[in-house]
Amino acid sequence: MHRSMKSLVLAFGVSAVLIGGPVAASADSLKITLAGGSVGGAWSAMGAAIGQTIRLQVPGSSFTYEPGRDAANVQLVSEGKVQLGITHAQMALSASKGAPPFKQKITNIRAIALLDPEATVQIVVRKDSPYANLDDIAKANKPIRIALNKRGTMMAIAGEAVFTAAGLSPKAIAANGGRIEYVDFNSGLDMLKNGQVDLVLNMLAFPSAQLERLSHDMGVKLLPISAATQAKINGDIGTTSVTIPAKTYAFEPEPVGTVTGHVVLVASDKMSDAEAETITKAMLDHFDYLTKAYPSFARMGKKALPDVAPLELAAGAKKAYKAAGIQ
């Protein structure tokens, strides 16, 4: 079966079937459901790739991909409704503190692996936009239509924090006659293309294939975030400053200062050490497959998998990394 077809099957929540037909489950086979992001998005591809490594490691295992959202994924994992979840480390940290959007502390989340160290805030506008940077928008004090990711995602929380740090809270945006649309990234890009919004903000690895495709259809540019505003954002939500190098995108010749979060794979502390070890070992043993399936793995390298700070590694994951000599 072609890899893209496998990803499609997984993305719709269907248990994976190995090439050649169903395989009888062994006594040690796993039954895993992973909650990720929207169908067709980056987390969908990432989740499907992780599922394939589990199937390769333990033939006969059942893996189901379930579309989800950042905060909801943490909750589902905590409650044992799914075994694995994809989230931002910053979101899981908020959960441990009982900070919004969580109403109470969630302290039983453990990390399995770092999935993407470059969940980077990227702010895209039309090339003919009058704004050269984020602060220009705040100074203009004019209506602006913004597309953020869906509510309950770190991308939406970070987007609100970005504008608030620049002096434009969601309330201020509305007071100026502007509005915020909370939609998935692809829908936001379509809205920009159709003239329905002026700006789209998301957190994702760079270069983004979605932004590259958009640039083939229309002129676009990225807006940088000033160092002072970066510092405010980092203090508020735990991101770190980063620079997107010049010419990362063909349409952006200059370096772009911004902030970045980290995407991680998490489990509950109720997951057995043996199961966490097996899942981690699957990712380690089949890392070459991961690098081909999702570009962030190739950039960060196998040795970065245990870099899940500020979260705590699951004991079984820690054991697998130690055995592999990278922890």
pLDDT by residue (tens digit) across 290-299? 999 888 898 8
Query: Is 242 found in the same domain as 143?
Result: yes
CA 147 from centre of chain: 17
Q: What is the pLDDT of residue 66?
A: 95
Q: What is the pLDDT of residue 24?
A: 39
Q: What is the pLDDT of residue 19?
A: 31
Q: What is the pLDDT of residue 17?
A: 34
Among 95, 176, 98, smallest CA distance to 137 is for 176
Query: Is 247 found in the same domain as 132?
Result: yes
Count of domains in the chain?
A: 2
Q: What is the pLDDT of residue 1?
A: 40
Q: What is the pLDDT of residue 13?
A: 40
**Chain length of the chain:** 327
Tell me the CATH number at 181. Answer: 3.40.190.10
Tokens 């979840």 locate to 85
Choose the final residue of a domain: 238, 261, 284: 261
The gap between the terminal CA atoms of the chain, to the nearest Å, is 35
pTM, two decimals, is: 0.74
Q: What is the pLDDT of residue 99?
A: 84
Distances (CA, A) of 208 to 122, 157, 166, 179, 251: 9, 20, 24, 25, 12
Query: Is 303 found in the same domain as 251?
Result: no
Q: What is the pLDDT of residue 15?
A: 37
Q: What is the pLDDT of residue 143?
A: 94
Tokens 């190739």 locate to 298
Query: Is 250 found in the same domain as 137?
Result: yes
Residues of the chain with pLDDT under 50: 1-27
Q: What is the pLDDT of residue 320?
A: 97
Count CB atoms within 10 A of the CB of residue 105.
12
Query: Is 313 found in the same domain as 206?
Result: no
Structural domain boundaries, residue 252: 119-261
Among 261, 257, 258, 221, smallest CA distance to 239 is for 261
Query: Is 130 found in the same domain as 254?
Result: yes
Query: Is 162 found in the same domain as 61?
Result: no
Q: What is the pLDDT of residue 23?
A: 37
Query: Is 168 found in the same domain as 148?
Result: yes
Query: Is 290 found in the same domain as 239?
Result: no
Query: Is 240 found in the same domain as 133?
Result: yes
Which H or E run includes 269?
none
Choose the final residue of a domain: 261, 284, 305: 261
Query: Is 125 found in the same domain as 250?
Result: yes
Choose the final residue of a domain: 261, 288, 303: 261
Query: Is 92 found in the same domain as 74?
Result: yes
